A and B are shown apart, each in its own frame.
Chain A
Amino acid sequence: MMANRDTQTEIMEMFSRILGARDDDVGPETPLSKENNIEHIDVVKLVMDCEKRFRVTIWDEDVLQLKSVTDLAAYVDRQLAEGTDDLALHDDKQRNAWYYEY
């Protein structure tokens, strides 16, 4: 599925901030793998940032299936389009509280 270019650009920017100095030549299609100096924890951080920024839920079981930033952007767009009326999480406040408030 094609990702919306705006979503993808924004996610790419967030990812650069997470990777910091390691962001040599990571592009939207770069596989999210150790060979490219990308750890699972980086991907998880990116996922969390996306959830906050776009107000969507990215299900944990799907996270490791995302092979590139483009994949992630497509996932986010899909969730946005579906309006993510999740069973467990009824609004953004609840979602944020659920994952990130201590």
Chain B
Amino acid sequence: MDAKQEMGEYTAHAMASLYKDDGFQQLAEAALYVDQINTRIALQQEKANRIRRLERMLLSPYFARVDFLFDGDAEAERMYIGRASMKDPDSNEIKVYDWRAPVAGIFYRFGPGRAYYDAPSGRIDGELLLKRQYEIRDGRLVFFFDADVEIVDEFLRQFLSQNASARMKTIVETIQRDQDAVIRDSENDLLMVQGAAGSGKTSIGLHRVAYLMYQGLANRLAADNIVILSPNTLFERYISGILPELGEQNVVSLTAEKILDDVLGGRVFQTKNQLLETIGVAGDGEETRLIKGDLEFKTGFAFIGILERFIKAIPRRFVAFRDVAYAGSVVARRQSLKNKIVNSKKGLSLAVLLKQLEAAVLDQVHEARRSRMDSLAEFVKRYGYSPREGAAAARLLSVLESAALVKEIRTFTELDYFGLYERLFADEAWFYQLAKGLPLPEGIGGILSRTRQGLASGALSHGDALALAYLTLRLGGYRYMDRIRQVVLDEAQDYYPLHFALYNKLFPKARYTVLGDVNQTIAKEADLSFYEQVSQILGKEKTTLVTMNKSFRCTSEILEFSAGFLEGGVEMESFSRHGEPPSVHTAASEAGLADVIIGEIALSLEKGCASVGLICKTAADAARWYERLAGLWDGGGSGTAMHLVEEAREEELSGVFVVPVYLTKGLEFDAVLVPDADRERYRGKDDRKLLYIACSRALHRLALFYAGEASPWLAAHPGRGGE
């Protein structure tokens, strides 16, 4: 490490001295030398990583063994599989194979019998004679057993019955056959996974990233070729440990909000969570209907069509070309400027075309400037300056008039995206003309007038922010994500068509892994046609949809109860792990309920739960419950603290949490408590999904609470029991 640092400093010095050298020859030589040093540093880093990996392997060198008889061989080969590979440095013999190595596929995909794996050279067939699994902890063998079928259930059950941890953990020992297929897929440009709550889709997405960073040299991706799109920062933090634990460098993780913020250049807009909070607080009324109608329209296919037509119309209709005059004569005519842009076949974005036009006009100005300077010099002579003062005065006049000229030119060579977006709604008749043939929603008149009012006051609703970002990208040709080759998009069900259209512009060269669950949408309807839409927008050649119905997170009891909130029931398979049935509690008042909740929290901790999530409908509800409960909570004998989780805060998820449901996407808790399961809060159509999401966060314990009248979804629940 020290050596590396020293080398780093040495290089910095070498780089600095480069600037002092004038001779190109020297520069070239130096560049060569810097290159060498950089290579040495990369090697050094690689070595350091390797040491870290090996150190970790000392504690748990491998977790599986396969004895594989290659077709045509007389003797089976014994191969160990671990988190990383280990080679005998002298004989170069591989002692342990990395879990991502092609041969490891045998372990994940087959039971004893005929088996194969896909090597770079093609399919390798043979006979799997033995499949053995080990548990090695702190360098000691705890147990091992021989597996007949897939990854043996007992092993998995033990693994799953552990507590949820503050950070997501790796699953290399227990990857299932269908999960393995997703992780190792390299065929598809768009791989979509519809995975039930707790099916491990996020985990699979991350292991897939690790695989992509490992696979064959030619396709291997570096950390900066991959981006993970997360629903929120809480989730980002939750998953942040996986890649380092797998021995890989962490990749860039972004939220949709961060991308909007970047593209909109810091302009203030309504975030998705602010929108959800507004809807959650407003309840199931007219206001919610309007907000959702607006969002659905602006992020849907028809509006993308309208925006595209608008973008086409902009150069002709909304760019105020004008004659450019300099030193008393016209250097460029309005009509010829306009023609250059309108008839351009270069396929460049409008912003770039206009900048090129500006440069061309300025070139003409520069040519005329010499004679202009002569006349300005002539002019200032009348005032009797000294030669130096006179030259400066003449130059100043030129500077001032040039500044004014450029300002004039930029009235049409610079695009005001927000202003343009406003223009889209300014003339209603024109808007309808533009939208001709596209399906418009019923309340379109209201949407247009609300949008006009909103934009006039400078406010950007969430839908407007997305649309404006799309417009900005399309007109500005903003492509800072060119290097991204793989986009992993989690909790995809909450994204709208416009999101995907936006990402397609932002990551033009990427392949996609899209993970979602259409049953977990918030404030939005979705079914399996969602994936068809995604595939249609991204327009990739090779596309596939994988469905994962088996849930590993919850106990059978919790899963069954949660699924009871879904419309028409949804096919879900549970991994048979049993626990206590979920319970429903009621009290006459909220104060009475608070005591019951405190009791349940204490009981959960006592029963060994490390994380307890009190999942509320909105942030306002979460704040209210936190205030009520924090005063009553004494730490439950173990001194466990209670936290209120707020947006954009990075929390370690261990202890007791009060959190709004929309922030729990992708997360899990040992015990989940749902207060407020009453008629007032959960009665709308969307609310049943919120209950489903909240309940399916639980690993071991689940309890629901209400004062007064129960939510109709709870009252009608088939598996309601244990009151």
Residues on A close to B: CB < 8 A? 4, 40-41, 44-45, 47-48, 59-61, 63-64, 86-88, 98-100, 102
Residue pair A61, B403 in contact (C-beta under 8 Å): yes
Residue pair B395, A61 in contact (C-beta under 8 Å): no
Within 8 A of A (CB), among B273-289: none
Q: Which residue of A lies closest to B365 (CB)?
A: A61
Residue in B369, B392, B400, B405 whose beta carbon sits within 8 Å of that of A48 in the complex:
B392
Measured between beta carbons, the chain A residues less than 8 angstroms from B395 are 44, 47-48, 60, 99
Residue pair B391, A63 in contact (C-beta under 8 Å): no
Task: Jot down 16 A-B pairs with beta carbons below 8 A, ordered by A.
Answer: A40-B400, A41-B392, A41-B396, A48-B392, A60-B398, A60-B399, A60-B403, A61-B365, A64-B400, A64-B403, A86-B366, A87-B363, A88-B369, A88-B370, A99-B391, A102-B391
Q: B interface, by DSSP: helix, strand, loop or mixed?
A: helix
Q: A63 to B369: give the CA distance in the assembly, Å.
A: 15
Residue pair A102, B367 in contact (C-beta under 8 Å): no
Measured between beta carbons, the chain B residues less than 8 angstroms from A102 are 377, 387, 390-391
| Nearest CB on A from B404, distance (A) | 9
Q: A63 to B396: give the CA distance in the assembly, Å.
A: 9
From B367, B390, B396, residue with most partner A Cβ within 10 Å: B396
Measured between beta carbons, the chain A residues less than 8 angstroms from B365 are 61
Residue pair A48, B366 in contact (C-beta under 8 Å): no
Q: A86 to B359: give the CA distance in the assembly, Å.
A: 12
Residue pair A99, B366 in contact (C-beta under 8 Å): no
Q: A48 to B387: give the CA distance in the assembly, Å.
A: 13
Q: A36 to B362: give the CA distance in the assembly, Å.
A: 31
Q: A68 to B667: give the CA distance in the assembly, Å.
A: 50
Q: Which residue of B lies closest to A100 (CB)?
A: B391
Measured between beta carbons, the chain A residues less than 8 angstroms from B370 are 88, 98
Q: A63 to B366: give the CA distance in the assembly, Å.
A: 14
CB of B426 closer than 8 Å to a CB of A = no
Q: A88 to B365: give the CA distance in the assembly, Å.
A: 10
Q: A87 to B395: give the CA distance in the assembly, Å.
A: 19
| Nearest CB on A from B394, distance (A) | 9
Residue pair A60, B387 in contact (C-beta under 8 Å): no
Q: A49 to B310: give the CA distance in the assembly, Å.
A: 49
| Nearest CB on A from B381, distance (A) | 9
Residue in B366, B387, B390, B393 whose beta carbon sits within 8 Å of that of A59 in the complex:
B366
Q: A40 to B403: give the CA distance in the assembly, Å.
A: 12
Residue pair B367, A61 in contact (C-beta under 8 Å): no
Residue in B369, B388, B393 whose beta carbon sits within 8 Å of that of A60 in the complex:
B369
Q: A88 to B373: give the CA distance in the assembly, Å.
A: 13
Interface residues of B, CB < 8 Å — how many? 25
Residue pair B377, A64 in contact (C-beta under 8 Å): no
Q: A61 to B390: give the CA distance in the assembly, Å.
A: 20
Residue pair A87, B403 in contact (C-beta under 8 Å): no
Q: Which residue of B lies closest to A60 (CB)?
A: B402
| Nearest CB on B from A83, distance (A) | 13
Q: Which residue of A lies closest to B391 (CB)?
A: A100
Q: A60 to B402: give the CA distance in the assembly, Å.
A: 6
Q: A15 to B52: give the CA distance in the assembly, Å.
A: 55
Residue pair B393, A63 in contact (C-beta under 8 Å): no
Residue in A4, A63, A86 whose beta carbon sits within 8 Å of that of B403 in the complex:
A63
| Nearest CB on B from A4, distance (A) | 7
Contact code string B399-443 (vs A, CB < 8 Å = 1, else 0): 110110110000000000000000000000000000000000000
Residue in B363, B377, B396, B406 whose beta carbon sits within 8 Å of that of A44 in the complex:
B396
Given known A40-B399, A60-B402, contact A45–B392 (CB-CB < 8 A)? yes
Measured between beta carbons, the chain B residues less than 8 angstroms from A88 are 366-367, 369-370
CB of B383 closer than 8 Å to a CB of A = no
Q: A98 to B391: give the CA distance in the assembly, Å.
A: 11
Q: A47 to B394: give the CA distance in the assembly, Å.
A: 13
Residue pair A48, B373 in contact (C-beta under 8 Å): no
CB of B480 closer than 8 Å to a CB of A = no
Measured between beta carbons, the chain A residues less than 8 angstroms from B392 are 41, 44-45, 48
Residue pair B399, A64 in contact (C-beta under 8 Å): yes
Measured between beta carbons, the chain A residues less than 8 angstroms from B406 are 61
Q: A98 to B372: give the CA distance in the assembly, Å.
A: 10
Measured between beta carbons, the chain B residues less than 8 angstroms from A4 are 19
- Besides A44-B392, A60-B398, 17 other A-B contacts (C-beta < 8 A): A4-B19, A44-B395, A45-B392, A47-B395, A47-B399, A60-B399, A60-B402, A61-B362, A61-B365, A61-B399, A61-B405, A63-B403, A64-B399, A88-B366, A88-B370, A98-B370, A99-B391
